[in-house]
Amino acid sequence: MRYAAQRLIQAVPVFAATTFLIYAMVFALPGDPILALAGDKPVPEEVLDALRERYHLNDPLLVQYGIYMLGLFQGDLGETFTGQQVSELLAGRWGVTAQLALTAWIFELVVGVALGVIAALRRGGAVDTAVLAGTTFVIAVPVFVVGYGAQILLGVNLGLFPTAGVEHGWPVSYLLPGMVLGSFSLAYVARLTRTSLAENLRADYVRTAVAKGMRRRRVIGRHALRNSLIPVVTFLGVDFGNLMAGAVVTEGIFNLPGIGQQVFQSIQLQEGPVVVGIVTVLVMIFLAANLVVDLLYGVLDPRIRRA
Amino acid sequence: MTDLQADLQTGAALRAATGAEPGPAGSLWGDAWREMRGRAVFWLSTLTLAIAVAMAAFPGLFARFGPNERCDLRLFNRGPGDGAIFGYDQQGCDYWSQVVHGARASILIGIAVTVFALLISVVLGLLAGYYGGWLDAVIGRLTDVFFGIPFVLGATVILVAFPDHGIWAMTLVLVVLGWTTMTRLMRGQVIAVRQMDYVTAARMLGAGDLRIMLKHILPNAIAPVVVLATLNVGNVIAGEATLDFLGVGLQYPEVSWGLQLNAARAFYTTHPHLLIFPAVFLTATVLSFLLLGDVVRDALDPKLR
């Protein structure tokens, strides 16, 4: 309990400072957004004043930030200067991004751990070498290159997967984008599992288990693997937030109507305030996810709590 | 930041390995060099990087034309052939020349960001780790804040807020978002080394704080941070290209691999050469930095072998 409280108290300034940094940056956006709304036409001073009043633009930065945060905690994500609610813009998009992130997450969990275990059990063998080389390669190729490559080869040329859109529903439409989004983390999961398991296989308690005649399968499954998976679980937890954030690129490539695609489109259309509004929300989800993982980590590994 | 766990583990392992070795300070790097020069991967990645750096420094040696020069719209998207080994891009520019000129942005940003981030992390890590107390607490919280910002999203916000940016502004943004992991590692290293007997001995002999930090702690603490920095160059290059690709990074008329890949988006199904060539160059560069970092880590940490 003390650990949880401590962690929560630590998270508050980080949370506040991060969101404030982003908010201050919007404040620094060049140009007068209200004047830009009017275009070339002259606007009466009263209208301008009314609009500035409505969006609290006359208040100092700190007050504006306070109002925004207050609204945020009441579920109000603010509105763009064209009067559209950010939450409205995002309605219906959350599901797509969550499904995509979930597909990627399951992919990296299942395939990543499996590859890591096989590599660790046959260290120095052909599979191990292949896993090491393959993961290095996957880490080195930028996600958007993987995305286009997979789209051309597996989608267009071989026709194994739908190439874009979501009309086939979950999971069919999400398989290829999910694999692309998860590929980077998959490489990390595989390597982490391999290193961790290989280290634990040399530990004294494993030798003891073998020495007392326990079957190999049981030694690995019950003892070594269970201990090895602690860092992997932590990584997978933090990564869910990363996947939500990383979806910007993948959704752009595969034309999935999620949060990321909205960001991608808004960047292309140069709608600064919309981008920042959405990104602020995403960053906060990311921070909250990290906090939850930290708390869970304390539950998983008692040594962390007492440290 | 995803590799924090692995890096911290590496740091701990390296610390154990380097701390346990009784030899003189120079021998760690000497051993590492002997170990590295016997490995094919080391030479292969060094060769690739030498070519990439040469392209960045003297593009005139490789390219036929200058950046965005002698473009002929009638040759729009034409594939390889007729003296243009990489074909032409959507402006009708010689694609080989364009790809060669694209090296400069990636290499320059990758190295500059890493050097600046390394400097920041060495200074902050030394101060936080050596003095501890409130200074450590302030630096620690500051690191937490910047560590909490996800890379692509954070960079997007900053770059959208300041739309007129060239290579150096990009460098600044990437440094701001990229110094935290190295600083944390450096701090941990300094704390471990600070308790060594030779540091106590130096203090007994009347050495000042600055001298202890620079002459005794720094050389013994920096090895894992250097490994991380080498790996970091590759990550920065990939990150920069991603931002260019998203459309928030460098803008035309700058020339970079990320921008070329961005431009290729509309045509890649019919003109795959637009996608393939910059992708191959980008991947080869990033891969070489990652492999080099792996080799250096293996060489500095005999325990992992």
Within 8 A of B154 by CB-CB distance, chain A residues are 22, 283
The answer to whether the Cβ–Cβ distance between B275 and A192 falls below 8 Å is no
Return residues 162-201 of A near B (CB < 8 Å). 184-185, 188, 191-192, 195
Q: pLDDT digit string (tens) for A168-223?
A: 767 778 888 899 999 988 998 998 899 889 888 888 888 898 899 888 888 888 88
This model's pTM is above 0.90: no
The nearest CA of chain A is from the CA of B6 a distance in Å of: 7
- pLDDT tens digits, residue range B92-149? 788 888 888 989 989 999 999 999 999 999 999 999 999 988 999 889 888 888 887 7
C-alpha distance from residue A226 to each of A108, A206, A301 (Å) = 18, 12, 12
Those residues with Cβ within 8 angstroms of residue A2's Cβ, 6 or more apart along the chain or in another chain:
none
Fill in the DSSP letter of residue B162.
S
* Nearest CB to A267; choose among B3, B6, B156: B156
Residue in A185, A169, A163 with CA at minimum distance from that of residue A239: A185
List pLDDT tens digits, range B58-85: 888 887 777 877 777 777 767 777 777 7
B18 in Cβ contact with B28 (< 8 Å): yes
The residue that leads in pLDDT, A298 or A248, is A248
Q: Which residue has the higher pLDDT, B77 or B209?
A: B209
Residue type, A3: Y
Residues of A in contact with B161 (CB under 8 A): 25-26, 28-29, 272, 276
Mean pLDDT over A13-18 rounds to 76
Structural tokens at position A135: 């993961």
B46 or A89, which is more confident? Answer: B46
Between A259 and B2, where is the model more confident? A259
Going by pLDDT thresholds of 50, 70 and 90, the confidence category of residue A290 is confident
Q: What is the dihedral of CA B233, A254, A112, A149, to 10 degrees?
A: -60
Interface of B with A (CB under 8 A): 2-3, 5-6, 9, 141, 144-145, 148-150, 152-154, 156-158, 160-163, 234, 238, 241-242, 245-248, 261, 268-269, 272, 275, 279, 282-283, 286-287, 290-291, 294
Mean model confidence pLDDT for chain A: 79
Instruction: Judge: B152–A28 Cβ closer than 8 Å, yes or no.
Output: no
Contacts of B305 in chain A (CB under 8 A): none
Instruction: Answer yes or no: do B150 and A139 touch at CB < 8 A.
Output: no
Query: What mean pLDDT comes out for the span A147-151?
Result: 84
A14–B279 CB contact, under 8 Å: no
Architecture of domain A101-250+285-306: Orthogonal Bundle (1.10)
B186 to chain A, closest Cα gap in Å: 20
Nearest to A21 by CA among B165, B177, B121, B124: B177
Contacts by A152-159 with C-beta closer than 8 Å and gap 24+? A152/B268, A152/B269, A152/B272, A156/B269
> Average pLDDT of B192-219?
89
pLDDT of residue B20: 43
What mean pLDDT comes out for the span A126-133? 88
Neighbouring C-alpha atoms within 13 Å toward the C-beta of B81 = 4
Length of chain B: 305
User: Which token pair is A289?
Assistant: 């996810």
Place of tokens 């989004």: A181
Cβ contact B241–A21 (<8 Å): no
Give whole-number Cα distances, A253 to A165, A227, B71, B151, B276, in Å.
10, 38, 28, 19, 16
* pLDDT the model gives residue A122: 86
- For residue B94, what are the β-bridge partners? B88
User: What are the tens digits of pLDDT across the range A105-128?
Assistant: 999 999 999 999 999 888 888 888
Q: What is the pLDDT of residue B305?
A: 44
| Nearest alpha carbon to residue B165 among B177, B173, B157 | B173
Q: Which of residues 6-45 of A touch B (CB under 8 A)?
A: 10, 13-15, 17-18, 21-22, 25-26, 28-30
Q: In chain B, which residue's Cα lies nearest the Cα of A140?
A: B287
pLDDT, greater one: B125 or A13: B125
The alpha-carbon gap from A119 to the nearest alpha carbon of chain B, in Å, equals 15
Cα–Cα distances in angstroms (integers) from residue B220 to residues A201, B9, B23, B196, in the given order: 31, 18, 12, 10
Look at residue B4 in the predicted model and tell me its pLDDT. Answer: 45
Q: Can you tell me the distance from the alpha carbon of B187 to that of A274, in angstroms, rounded to the nearest whole number?
A: 38
Q: Report pLDDT digits (tens) over B146-192.
A: 887 778 878 887 887 777 778 888 999 999 988 998 998 999 889 88
Mean pLDDT of B239-260: 87
Given an 8 Å threshold on Cβ–Cβ distance, is B283 in contact with A148? Answer: no
The residue with greater pLDDT, A45 or B191, is: B191
The pLDDT of residue A75: 67
Given B145, B150, B248, which is nearest A14 (Cβ)? Answer: B145
Range among A58-67, B89-98, B207-216 rated most confident: B207-216
Phi, psi (degrees; rounded to nearest 5) at B58? -125, 70
Average pLDDT over residues A39-56: 74
| pLDDT, position A81 | 61
Query: Which chain B residue has the Cα nearest residue A249?
Result: B246
Tell me, what DSSP letter sits at residue B84? B
Output b/e per residue, A211-236; b: 16+ Cβ within 10 A: eeeeeeeebbeebbbebbbbbbbbbb
Token pair, residue A148, equals 């286009």
| Set of chain B residues whose Cβ sits within 8 Å of the Cβ of A243 | none
Q: Which of A6-15, A33-42, A153-162, B40-49 has the highest mean pLDDT?
A: B40-49
Which of A68-72, B38-42, B95-99 comes out lowest in average pLDDT?
A: A68-72
pLDDT at A14 > cutoff 70: yes
> Mean per-residue pLDDT for A275-297?
75
Please determine, for residue A303, whether its predicted confidence score (pLDDT) is greater than 60: yes
The complex scores an ipTM of 0.76
Q: Where are the domains of chain A?
A: 101-250+285-306
- Average pLDDT of chain B is 82
Report the pLDDT value the prediction gives residue A97, as an integer from 0 to 100. Answer: 87
Question: Which domains occur in chain B, in start order?
Answer: 38-63+86-304 (1.10.3720.10)
The whole-number pLDDT of residue B275 equals 85
- Give percent above pLDDT 90 in chain B: 22
Q: Which residue, chain included where needed, has tokens 């070329």?
A: B260
Residue with tokens 């650990």: A3
Which of A27-36's residues contact partners 24+ apart within 8 Å by CB, and which partners? A27/A61, A27/A64, A28/B161, A28/B162, A29/A272, A29/A273, A29/A276, A29/B160, A29/B161, A30/B162, A30/B163, A33/A57, A33/A81, A33/A273, A34/A81, A36/A81
By Cβ distance, the residue of A137, A142, A195 closest to B242 is A142
Asked if the Cβ–Cβ distance from A279 to B153 is below 8 Å, we say yes
**pLDDT tier for residue A35 given thresholds of 50, 70 and 90:** low
**Residue A79, SS3?**
strand
Test A276 with B160 for CB contact under 8 angstroms: yes
Instruction: State both tokens at B77.
Output: 């998207």
Q: Do B282 and A145 touch (CB under 8 A)?
A: yes
Q: What is the pLDDT of residues B212-226, one digit of tens each?
A: 998 889 988 888 888
Look at residue A305 and tell me whether its pLDDT is greater than 70. no
Q: How many CB atoms lie within 10 A of CB B72?
A: 12
Residues A248, B148: C-beta atoms closer than 8 Å: no
